[in-house]
Structure 1
Amino acid sequence: MTALSRTPSPLPLPQEDERCSADDRKRRTVTLFRTSPLLLDCGQPLLDVRVAYHTYGEAREEATLVLHALTGNSAVHEWWPDFLGAGRPLDPTQAYIVCANVLGGCAGTDGPSELGDLPISLRDMARVGRALLEHLGVRRVRVIGASMGGLLAYAWLLECPDLVARAVVIGAPVRHSPWAVGLNSAARAAIRAAPGGEGLKVARMVAMLSYRSPQSLAQTQVGQRRPGVHAVTSYLEYQGEKLLARFCERSYLTLTAAMDGFQPNDAELAAIRVPVLAVGISSDVLYPAAEVRAGAAAVPNATYWELDSIHGHDAFLMDSGDLPVRVGAFLHQG
């Protein structure tokens, strides 16, 4: 199977600031596995896999690899401004930073249409990422990922232990629990029951409830924004519409299934030897802090730290507090 040939549309670029150059903000694409196929965990080979990515800073053999969340993309400057920029944990003046849209996504990398809706795994994504790093001449990485990106960071530790020097996992467990699988199962059922967009909006509404916390919603979504409609209802409807405008329901099905399928056993986790910083979030109801802490305890060289916030799982994006300082100090050790 080969990827379709097409010209990607560029992402809109924000106003230039000190965080990265105009060239850094350009999305690039490369076609990998031209001669030797990517063998998926499902047993199917793929040739000519297109990958979309961003890089920040001067190219070098060591890099910091950023792994995005479920509905994210490779444009770190758009969704993680607290982390990217001079003096921040992801400093393009001091390090070479790479982020790619994952296999199965819908932001430039081959997605379900090109894959023929084949099932993919997080380990498949890591193998694609490894090929990208080889293309870029990178031989060693420090990995940082949050949410799905955190799960993917563990997949990198298992799939590419020779490449990873250290890893930061934010708001993610070592494997998906029945609770997380159940939420994704409900989301996929909504999409299948109402294809064409309505199901994806409902899936996003359900997901947003797991991304925030009761305390967060009580503080930010009180009362009504329009007559007869609760503020939280308006908020969830808006989030559903916003995701529908930028994301693909088939990618949502593919990526959530890949997350649910990531179930490393304790022996695999015990074999991880690189230093890991695992960050839990005190009010996270999707991946409770106790679950993140317990998972980190199964990794021999992991350190656990907890971000204190009322804003739930999404605190790593909206209420980062001391997180940038903690992450920066860990990434720059060694």
Structure 2
Amino acid sequence: MQAAPPRHLQSEAEPERCSAQQTVTLFRHEPLLLDCGQPVCDVRVAYHTYGEAREHATLVLHALTGNSAVHEWWPDFLGAGKPFDPDTDFVVCSNVLGGCAGSTGPSELPTLSGQRVKLTLRDMARVGRALLEHLGVKKVRVIGASMGGMLAYAWLLECPDLVERAVIIGAPARHSPWAIGLGTAQRSAIQAAPGGEGLKIARQIAMLSYRSHQSFQQTQAGQRVPGVPAITSYLEYQGEKLLARFCEKTYVALTEAMDAFQPSDAELRGIQVPVLSIGISSDVLYPASEVKAHAALLPHSTYWELDSIHGHDAFLMDAQDLPERVRDFLHA
């Protein structure tokens, strides 16, 4: 769920035919009805596009702390000959409703009975649909990893008429008690220490679930500063880094939405489009067995497993031949 890979893995320059971030205000005349029953007007959506506008597009769904700038956090997937090729594809990625990278955030949403409204992944999918209509897109291939993968499930359920096929990476169809427990602990940290310190602790908890024992043994053994274990300084750095660019209200809203997304087996069996579901062998947040079991409920699914020691974040830091697998499926 990290937003970006290490700097040395990022592209040196933005790919050609990449738009600057754009912003549009949707639902100006007819409100968006949230799942909680609250209508919302004037929803701001920040997004990037890559390539020439077309009626068929590839829709990229970002992870928990991600944004719409695919070229910054997934360079292995964007470019000539890659899964998202601006020379032949129209690629769209937007910051989700409730995000803090340009789209309408939690503080801008109305309250219900004095409490902030709770967003759902289906709400986010409906906002995404409105953006595609604004862009003139009529059919999409959807791909998402981590939270983006769960959001892809929401797209498959909410917008079956738009989605031609989907790739879901390192994500289950619904959160297990283990994943909900981790989210609860992170939100408790934010509630106990609002104003930033809690968000840093939440990030540290999350980072432990994004990697694996073997990964940390390889990358965080020993000390960087005398008397301070490397893993300690690493977690402190990750907490500070997230605090500098993220919003604790967004963190709470999005993790709650993920925990609440609980489609039934019957709903999953009703998904009729081809789906490539990808587990990660060392993922402790979303074990590969869980990802595979949910994929098995889909009538037209293919399962593949990325063999990496680097846990959940392997889709960012150790992709191996994952881009080729995704490219071949998306363009089959």
TM-score (norm 1): 0.94
The aligned residue for residue 120 of structure 1 is: 119
Deviation string for 1:218-275 (max 9, x for gaps)? 0000101111110000000000000000000000000000000000001100100000
State the SS of the aligned residue for 2:203. helix
Which one of the candidate residues 56, 60, 70 is aligned to 2:50?
A: 56
State the SS of the aligned residue for 2:244. helix
User: For residues 16 and 233 of structure 2, what CA distance do their matches in structure 1 show?
Assistant: 35
User: For residues 39 and 58 of structure 2, what CA distance do their matches in structure 1 show?
Assistant: 29
Q: Which amino acid aligns with 2:16?
A: C
The aligned residue for residue 152 of structure 1 is: 151
Deviation string for 1:47-96 (max 9, x for gaps)? 01000000000000000000000000000000000000111111110100
User: For residues 214 and 94 of structure 1, what CA distance do their matches in structure 2 show?
Assistant: 41
Conserved in 2, the CA contact under 8 Å of 1:57 and 1:97? Answer: yes
Report the CA distance between 1:16 and its aligned residue: 3.6
The aligned residue for residue 83 of structure 2 is: 89
Superposed, 1:268-287 pairs within 5 Å as 268-287=267-286
Superposed, 1:1-334 pairs within 5 Å as 16-17=13-14, 19-21=15-17, 24-116=18-110, 117-333=116-332
User: For residues 301 and 87 of structure 1, what CA distance do their matches in structure 2 show?
Assistant: 26
User: For residues 64 and 255 of structure 1, what CA distance do their matches in structure 2 show?
Assistant: 23
Conserved in 2, the CA contact under 8 Å of 1:25 and 1:77? Answer: no
State the SS of the aligned residue for 1:321. coil
Q: Which amino acid aligns with 2:62?
A: H
Unpaired stretches in structure 2, ≥5 consecutive residues: 1-10, 111-115
State the SS of the aligned residue for 1:225. strand
The aligned residue for residue 3 of structure 1 is: none
Report the CA distance between 1:196 and its aligned residue: 0.4
User: For residues 248 and 233 of structure 1, what CA distance do their matches in structure 2 show?
Assistant: 23
User: For residues 58 and 28 of structure 1, what CA distance do their matches in structure 2 show?
Assistant: 15
State the SS of the aligned residue for 1:35. coil
User: For residues 94 and 178 of structure 1, what CA distance do their matches in structure 2 show?
Assistant: 42
Q: Which amino acid aligns with 1:88?
A: K
The aligned residue for residue 7 of structure 1 is: none
Conserved in 2, the CA contact under 8 Å of 1:25 and 1:75? Answer: no
State the SS of the aligned residue for 2:20. coil
| Percent of paired sites with the same residue | 75
User: For residues 141 and 234 of structure 1, what CA distance do their matches in structure 2 show?
Assistant: 42
Deviation string for 1:5-55 (max 9, x for gaps)? xxxxxxxxx8645x233xx24100000001110000000000010000000
Deviation string for 1:282-306 (max 9, x for gaps)? 0000000000000000111111000
User: For residues 85 and 277 of structure 1, what CA distance do their matches in structure 2 show?
Assistant: 21
User: For residues 258 and 194 of structure 1, what CA distance do their matches in structure 2 show?
Assistant: 21
RMSD over aligned Cα atoms? 0.9
Structure 1 runs, 4 residues or longer, greater than 6 Å off: none
